[in-house]
Amino acid sequence: MGRADHEPYPAWMSQPAGDRPALAEFGDDFSSVLCVVAHPDDIEYGTAAAVARWTAAGKTVTYFLLTRGEAGIDTMPPDQAAGVREQEERDGAAIVGVSEVDFGDHRDGVVEYGLVLRRDIARQIRRRKPDVVITGHYGDRFVQGMLNQADHRAVGLACVDAVADAGNRWIFPELVEEGFEPWNVKRLCFAGSPTATHYVDVTDHVEQSVASLEAHAAYNAALPEEFPKPADLIGMILGWGGQAAGVDKALTLDVVDRR
């Protein structure tokens, strides 16, 4: 966001409405969700609005962040930033009804795709037993045209494989020895994807979504002056989704149904 080297709106918005692929409503036939991302604030860029809707409806939502975002504040040393950003994530999560927030020990900025990352995510899936797993788009560009960051790509791709790993007892058998039996996820979803298939109408939960991003006060304060403020940014992201879905505000998701 806030960059001048890409179109201000997704390319699909220049298409006549009749030429755009229709998005299906995500529905509510699930009871639990696990959000898997790289950094504190990744969930808050839109996904938190859907989380607020789901927790208000009695769904169980938990978060798993692979890093503590310690490299995210240029003016704060990593050992200090880690604690600050972890607490900001917990504060933001609480605003949208999430009390269970777990962190991995991967190093911010240099998360590597591989067996260790896959196993850590698979372990958390088996631990939480979610019906739905939501992660970030792992391609090189987001729907808005912005370049994707390395940690996002590594975590998103590892999550694809970890969802399969979690259901196979012979992959990472040490997890069974730790007490984590296999678990089959019903739906795997990608936020920020240019190939969205579904939407969640979050029109009634925008204020909570903005507040959850505002909870990242230290991180937001260190962003460049020209970077959009939380209310403007969330309005843009969910507004784009709303235009795609035909509602006021929406989170769009690329959904893989594994049932």
22 CB neighbour count, 10 Å cutoff: 11
What are the Cα distances from residue 55, in Å, to 22, 32, 35, 125, 239?
26, 9, 13, 19, 22
Residue of 211, 206, 115 lying closest to 165 (CA atoms)? 115
Question: Taking residues 80-91, what's their average pLDDT?
Answer: 98
Structural tokens at position 54: 């789901």
- For residue 17, is pLDDT > 70? no
Non-local CB neighbours of 244 within 8 Å, separated by 6+ positions: 10, 12, 13, 20, 23, 196, 199, 250, 252
Q: What is the pLDDT of residue 143?
A: 75
pLDDT digits (tens, 9 = 90+) for 201-247: 999 999 999 999 999 999 999 999 999 999 999 999 999 999 999 99
Find the mean pLDDT for residues 32-53. Answer: 98
| pLDDT score for 20 | 56
pLDDT (average), residues 107-123: 98
pTM here?
0.92
Percent of the chain with pLDDT over 70: 92
Confidence label for 142 from pLDDT (cuts 50, 70 and 90): confident
pLDDT of residue 146: 82
Contacts within 8 Å (CB) and 24+ apart, 152-158: 152/37, 152/38, 152/42, 153/113, 154/38, 154/111, 154/112, 154/113, 154/117, 155/36, 155/37, 155/38, 155/66, 155/111, 155/117, 155/121, 156/190, 157/113, 158/113, 158/114, 158/117, 158/118, 158/121
pLDDT of residue 145: 79
